[in-house]
Structure formats: C-alpha cells, structure tokens
Chains A and B, each alone.
Chain A
Amino acid sequence: EPEVTQTPSHQVTQMGQEVILRCVPISNHLYFYWYRQILGQKVEFLVSFYNNEISEKSEIFDDQFSVERPDGSNFTLKIRSTKLEDSAMYFCASTNDRVLDGYTFGSGTRLTVV
C-alpha cells in the first residue's frame, strides 16, 4: 500500500537553529498538508498546499514557517529559528480524492528543541 514517508524520524535541535522536515507524499496525490501534535495534545493543522502554492495556513504557521515542493516528489517544512514551543510531532499528510481515499498520514518527525 502506498505510504507517505517522512524524514528524519527524530530531530534534536538547539533553540534558534533552522530545521527542515522532509516528506515524500504518495505519488499521485495533489493536496499536501502539515500538522503538528504537541505531546499529549490533539493534532493541529498548520498548512495546506496545492498546485505549488499554499492554499491555507493556520495562526500557528507564522513567518518562521515555510513550505516548499522543490521537485516532483518532496514536500518540506522549514522552521527558520526554532523555539522551545516548537517541540512536537510533525505529520505530513496527502490526499488525491478525499471522498474515496481520505487523508494518508506519514509516520511523523519528532522535533525536540533544546
């Protein structure tokens, strides 16, 4: 079964450093998303991406965050200057047809900011 792949699985970074989280969505999917989950809390929407541009972003997705689809397969989330409160699990998701397929989530990247 096709998967959404995320790397790395765990990243530890110092406060103020830049991090890039990588995702390879399912190949024929067109809609891409980033979500985050702070430990023990619910999953929160960050940003959606379609047709090579951001479709929607949440209040969490401020100027420190950016997304890119640099080639036909990768989808990245960059945090320019990490803060302690950015520590969370970050999930990438993709879909082609929500009605039939729903959304497929990647295995996540656990980001720890120290």
Chain B
Amino acid sequence: ELKVEQNPLFLSMQEGKNYTIYCNYSTTSDRLYWYRQDPGKSLESLFVLLSNGAVKQEGRLMASLDTKARLSTLHITAAVHDLSATYFCAGEGGGATNKLIFGTGTLLAVQP
C-alpha cells in the first residue's frame, strides 16, 4: 500500500526566509495533493498535482511533482506569519475510489 512521508515534521522559520517541505511516496500515485490545516480546523486544499513535472503556484507557495523520483515539494518564498499552519501532502491509494493517504504533516511556525 502507498506510504507517504514528509519532512521535516516541524519547521520554525523567520519571516522573509525561504524553505521547502518534502513529500516522498512509496508507490505510484496518479495525483498528489497538498492541504493546509489550521489548529482545530478542517483541511484546505492548496494544490492538486496531476502529472510528472507539474508545478503550481499560489502566492508565496509553489508545489511541484516528480513522479519518477516519487517526490513532491512545497516551496515557501519569503514566509509571512499567516502561513503558520500544518501542511499535509497526500497521494491516492488506489482502489475503487482512490482514497487519500496522508503524510505525517509538517507544522510550520513562522516567527516575526
């Protein structure tokens, strides 16, 4: 079964700095998803990456997918405090309805 690993688990960064969250997955996944979760809240969809080489950007966040390396990255540019949250990547676990298999999450804390 698909396994999804993220690193780092916790990331403390200063405002204005850049950093990357990595998401590795163990077997083929048709699509790769990134979600944001604020404390006690639901999962907000950030990106859906559909194919090898896909790159999507929204504001200070950019996600990419390398299906050959089974790696997706979420790059944060010039972080601001509002980006503090937990970020999850998820792959599709196959089966009839392609359930999502989530990574462990990365807790991002942006310090002023």
Contact = CB atoms under 8 A, between A and B. Distances in A.
A103 B42 contact: no
Interface string B61-99: 000000000000000000000000000101011011111
A111 to B, nearest CB: 13
A82 B35 CA distance: 29
B95 A103 contact: no
Contacts of A50: 96-97
A7 to B, nearest CB: 14
A42 B88 CA distance: 8
Given A102-B48, A103-B33, A107-B41, A45 B96 contact: no
Interface residues of A, number: 26
Which of B42, B45, B96 has the most chain A CB within a 10 Å cutoff?
A: B42
A40 B90 CA distance: 17
A48 B97 contact: yes
B100 interface: yes
B111 to A, nearest CB: 21
Contacts of A58: 99
Contacts of B35: 105
A43 interface: yes
B7 interface: no
A56 interface: yes
Given A48-B99, A55-B96, A42 B45 contact: no
Nearest to B99: A45
B101 A45 contact: yes
A41 B104 CA distance: 7
Given A91-B43, A107-B41, A42 B99 contact: no
Interface in A41-82: 41-45, 48-50, 55-56, 58
A41 B102 CA distance: 10
Interface string B44-63: 11001010000000000000
Interface of A: 31, 33, 35, 41-45, 48-50, 55-56, 58, 91, 93, 98-99, 102-108, 110
